[in-house]
Amino acid sequence: MSKYYNPRRTRNLFDPNATEPFRLSRSKIDLFIQCPRCFYLDVRLGVGRPASFPLTLNNAVDTLLKKEFDIHRAEKTVHPLMKSYGIDAVPLQDSRMEEWRDALRRGISFHDKENNLIIRGGVDDVWVSPQEELIIVDYKATSKDEEITLDDEWKIQYKRQMEIYQWLFKQNKFKVSDTGYFVYVNGKTDKKALDGKLEFDVTIIPYKGNTDWIPKTISKMKTCLMDGRIPKAGEECDYCGYVESLGDVMRGNAIDNNEKGKNRNLKSETKGESTKETLFG
């Protein structure tokens, strides 16, 4: 097992008896929407998904974009890209920018007192309009030949991410524009050779967010966490079936095929009944 992955975390787990507010990063909202079981296993039982490898090229693009917009932030000027897209705004100057951008430790947060959860997330950038409305900005990097749009089904995650940031700023009493922007950087592959540098096209895509779904979802997350039962698996993920079958096979040497079949049926009938249930039955 890789030294970077701890399959059974014991810290930062939700405790239904605790009175302290529990901190949840915005990515856990997405995890809950994708699969309440995976969310529960991670946040309540400490079994998180293995982390993916760091996207170092994407991170480099993020850092350079931040530096570029920071030049205009310091000078309170409009970035030429914003000008070419007719966006009437400048990068926001605020002493809390670094804090809001710190996705790992700080970010922007809000304490939902009703559910006693602190939701937090780190933004890429914030612009401000002449009407003092904040505009949430997210940087994305890709490399594809087709035109960049937000139409791919999986990009719903990007849209939710933008909406959560808009909501977090609204909860912090800021006036926030419903329209946010994705600054999309697309690595060009139509060059004859790399020639020591990768060139990019930059596109700005507006997105009108709707934050109405967020409070209801946070309440459902809280209900899920308070429950003593492991929720059902998401319908579109095959891994739980894989893990169950793996468990069957790993223990199956001592069981004949008929018995294994009976055991599997028994397990699926009791699925989601109790935290005593494990993925291996």
Q: Which range in 35-43, 54-62, 179-187, 247-255 contacts ligand SF4 by CB under 6 A?
A: 35-43
Contacts of 185 (CB under 8 A, 6+ apart): 61, 65, 139, 140, 141, 142, 200, 201, 202
Among 64, 237, 249, 255, binds ligand SF4 (CB under 6 A): 237
Among 38, 126, 134, 136, binds ligand SF4 (CB under 6 A): 38
| Shorter beta-carbon distance to ligand SF4: residue 9 or 76 | 9
Among 78, 81, 118, 240, binds ligand SF4 (CB under 6 A): 240
Among 37, 72, 79, 120, binds ligand SF4 (CB under 6 A): 37
Q: Half-sphere exposure of 67 toward its Cβ, with a 13 Å CA cutoff?
A: 6
| Shorter beta-carbon distance to ligand SF4: residue 170 or 271 | 271
| Shorter beta-carbon distance to ligand SF4: residue 24 or 176 | 24
Q: Which range in 17-25, 36-44, 109-117, 145-153 contacts ligand SF4 by CB under 6 A?
A: 36-44
Work out whether 28 is an interface residue with ligand SF4 (CB under 6 A): no
Work out whether 46 is an interface residue with ligand SF4 (CB under 6 A): no
Element (DSSP H or E) covering residue 268: helix 257-270
Q: How far is the CB of 279 from ligand SF4 (least distance, A)?
A: 8
Among 103, 122, 239, 247, binds ligand SF4 (CB under 6 A): 239
Phi and psi at residue 89, in whole multiples of 5°? -165, 165
Which of 90, 162, 86 has the alpha carbon at shortest distance from 133?
A: 90
CA 255/CA 281 separation, integer angstroms = 14
Work out whether 74 is an interface residue with ligand SF4 (CB under 6 A): no
Q: In Å, what is the CA distance from 179 to each residue of 2, 91, 145, 156, 214?
A: 41, 15, 26, 16, 17
State whether the Cα torsion 156-39-15-213 is positive or negative: positive
Work out whether 44 is an interface residue with ligand SF4 (CB under 6 A): no
Work out whether 221 is an interface residue with ligand SF4 (CB under 6 A): no
Work out whether 233 is an interface residue with ligand SF4 (CB under 6 A): yes
Q: How far is the CB of 233 from ligand SF4 (least distance, A)?
A: 4
CA 281/CA 244 separation, integer angstroms = 8
Q: How far is the CB of 49 from ligand SF4 (least distance, A)?
A: 7
| Shorter beta-carbon distance to ligand SF4: residue 66 or 229 | 229
CA 73/CA 176 separation, integer angstroms = 18
The CA angle 192-195-198, to the nearest 5 degrees, is: 90
Contacts of 152 (CB under 8 A, 6+ apart): none
Which pairing describes strands 134-142 and 22-25: parallel, antiparallel, or unpaired? unpaired
In contact, 134 and 176? CB cutoff 8 Å: yes
Among 35, 134, 164, 168, binds ligand SF4 (CB under 6 A): 35
Work out whether 43 is an interface residue with ligand SF4 (CB under 6 A): no
Q: Would you tell me which residues interact with ligand SF4 (CB under 6 A)?
A: 35, 37-38, 41, 233-234, 237, 239-240
